[in-house]
Amino acid sequence: MQPVSSSEHQPDASSRGRRLLIVEDEISTIFAMREFFSFNGYHVDCAAGATDAMVLLDRGSYDVVITDLHLTPHRCAEGMNVLTRARRLNPGATIVMLTAYTSEGSEQEAYRNGVNLYETKPVGLAKLAACIEAARDGSTQPSLKSGGEWGRTCPE
């Protein structure tokens, strides 16, 4: 898959000019996230792997980066490399790491490397967007977890 850029929707006032990079190896997940965030006013670029993500990160800045932890069937945590490069090149970005295979060690490493949100799949897109906005505003310590099965909800 080639890196993809989406700009068919006009940004609304809350996300005007915001650029989002989605790094995910599951095509159906890329499609759903790209459609959702584009519809909500983001300019969205997509990459199916770490190599394409690095090219896009080197080409421009992003306000939000969402990356999967495991980008190949080998489960080598390639998303950590994306996280590291994204944080270095976009110090003010909100960076989200998603994974279906969470561990305390990978979560701690992600936070040490500058991730803002570390979430376990599946994640509802509306709640994810609310958490991203809360993290960007700095108004709360966002999380989809904390108490109960899913925990504290983010601001709606």
Residue pLDDT, tens place only, 43-92: 999 999 999 999 999 999 999 999 999 998 877 889 999 999 999 999 99
**Whether residue 149 has pLDDT greater than 80:** no
The reported pLDDT for the residue numbered 5 is 52
Q: What is the pTM of this model?
A: 0.80
pLDDT of 9 reads: 40
- The reported pLDDT for the residue numbered 142 is 46
Looking at residue 136, its pLDDT comes to 83
Question: Between β-strands 64-68 and 94-99, what pairing exists: parallel, antiparallel or unpaired?
Answer: parallel
pLDDT in tens, 92-143: 999 999 999 878 889 999 999 999 999 999 889 999 999 999 988 875 444 4
DSSP one-letter code for 84: H
The confidence score (pLDDT) of residue 54 equals 97
pLDDT for 3: 52
Amino acid 76: pLDDT: 85
Nearest Cα residue to 98 out of 151, 33, 37: 33
Look up residue 25 and give its amino acid: D
Please report the pLDDT score of residue 13 as a whole number: 43
Contacts of 147 (CB under 8 A, 6+ apart): none
CA pair distance 128, 37, nearest whole angstrom: 10
Q: Which residues pair with 120 in a beta bridge?
A: 99
Find the mean pLDDT for residues 4-26: 67
What pLDDT is attached to residue 15? 45
Q: Where are the domains of the chain?
A: 4-137
Q: Quote the pLDDT of residue 103.
A: 81
Structure token digits, residue 152: 């504290």
Sheet of 117-120, strands arranged across: 4-6, 43-47, 19-23, 64-68, 94-99, 117-120
Q: For domain 4-137, which architecture applies?
A: 3-Layer(aba) Sandwich (3.40)
The one-letter amino acid code at 61 reads: S
Distances from the Cα of 143 to the Cα of 9, 92, 128, 140, angstroms: 28, 19, 9, 9
